[in-house]
Amino acid sequence: MRVQKIFWGIIISSCVFAGLSGNMGCANIIPPQGGPKDTLPPVLLTAEPRDSALHFSGDKITLNFNEFIEVRDIGNNLIFSPTPEINPFVDYKLKTVTVKLKDALLPNTTYSINFGNAIQDFTEGNPLKNFTYTFSTGSYIDSLTLQGQVINAKTGEPDSTMIVMLHTSGDDSAVVNKKPLYVTKPDGNGHFQFNNLPPGKFYLYALQDNNRTRRYLSDDVLFAFADKPVTIQPGLQPITLYAYIGKPANETNKNQAQVSNEAKRLTYHTNLVSNKQELFQNFILTSDRPLQFFDSTKLKLYKDSTFVPVQDYTIEEDSTHTHITLATDWQENTLYHLVLDKDFATDSSGYQLLKKDSLHFMTKQKSDYGKLKITFRNLDMQKNPVVWLMQQNKIIRSVPLLSNTMTIDMFPPGEYTLRILYDNNKNGEWDPGIFFGQHIQPELVQPIKRKILVKAAWQNEFEIAL
């Protein structure tokens, strides 16, 4: 490997000289073959000023490594804390990384530059993970820390996609109008840690920063906030942040983009699986675009091969104007027909069906189902638990619990994951948080790692300890 790195040094030096003389003959470089693969990241040899330097007053930092390096995706990796108004400029050449500061530094302040995984060796791309350079404009280095974890409130699982932020202002508008003073990123398990913090009071948030503004500009991204200000001091306990999305993403724009290249007609899909209707579920028709007009009298339900009209059923449109729900007492193993008139609905683009449409489907048999009984141990009934039985991250059945045992006489067979919703307001649904003005935390969901397998025509009994 030493031979290979010397080879690269000769080649790079030759290419620099050739480039200066106008000769571009180094386009195709083939490294020597053989020898063990390099798996080690670069090692910092020297820094100017040295790492953890005091009384820093310059505008340039030079980092020298033991091998040829490159810097990748610095915009997504670099975290400079406290946050400057103007980001520093990072350059590299051969074995050296140079940081040029573009903003004035605060007096008596500890700064840290976290390069994330940006610094990598040139030959194999081995990253120097979370390399951090620290300096102070004062006479000491701040050494306090803050640890915690980010959890997605709706799934109960750790989240590693967000940034975690510390603000000095307690105004709600600060997360919209100002950049945070300190920023860090959680690891793959959602754990985060701020280092080199000064003592004082801060306001803690987490944000899904898709546009890299470090500001909460849209409530259709994940966001989290601590219940109260955090006083940075020795012995501070870890803090858990519960992230939520304030409202669904703009479904109108998303759906319009999905169908923009399709025929100019109203398009929809249903919740039928293999053209089978569950006996104890409603039939749901979902429009690919929101509806601006809907007439429930122009949908008719029939059964059997002779098209016998079904008399007792209801049809409702939901508040998003995308879901139409048909409820009736389904008969087992029966053929049904749903007839949609051409003008039963008009979507947000002004489109209707091209012609009258008919859907034909069968209901399942009672023998297709199994009996399900689940007993939960250590379940806190005071928190209004609701069981979610899920497949592919979709809720198949939501069951409010009145005791620690849940029994369903007929349940569709298959493998299910479970989550427990703690339904604070008893509305049967998960509610996101409300930050501005109210500071209401989202309802929490507890994931259950164990999966259950429900078999048809079986007594399926499970005991789950929480």
**Domain regions of the chain by residue span:** 37-136, 144-245, 262-367, 369-465
- The pLDDT value recorded for residue 36 is 75
- Same CATH topology for 37-136 and 144-245: the answer is yes
pLDDT at res. 263: 56
What's the CATH code, domain 369-465? 2.60.40.10
What's the pLDDT tens digit per position in 216-263? 999 899 999 999 999 999 999 999 999 999 865 444 444 443 444 455
Which of 3.50.50.60, 1.10.600.10, 2.60.40.3710, 2.60.90.10 would CATH assign to domain 262-367? 2.60.40.3710
CATH of 37-136, one of 3.40.50.720, 2.60.40.3710, 3.30.390.30, 3.20.20.60: 2.60.40.3710
Give, in words, the CATH class of 144-245.
mainly beta
Chunked into runs of 10 residues, the chain (466 residues) has average pLDDT values of: 44 36 40 69 98 97 97 95 94 97 96 97 94 98 98 98 98 97 97 98 98 93 98 97 79 42 80 94 96 97 97 95 97 98 96 96 97 97 97 94 96 97 95 96 97 97 96
Phi, psi of 161 (to 5 degrees): -95, -5
- The pLDDT value recorded for residue 247 is 66
* Res 32: pLDDT: 53
Residues 47-105: tens digit of each pLDDT: 999 999 999 999 999 999 999 999 999 999 999 999 999 999 999 999 999 999 999 99
Q: Please tell me whether the overall predicted TM-score, pTM, comes out greater than 0.85 for this model.
A: no
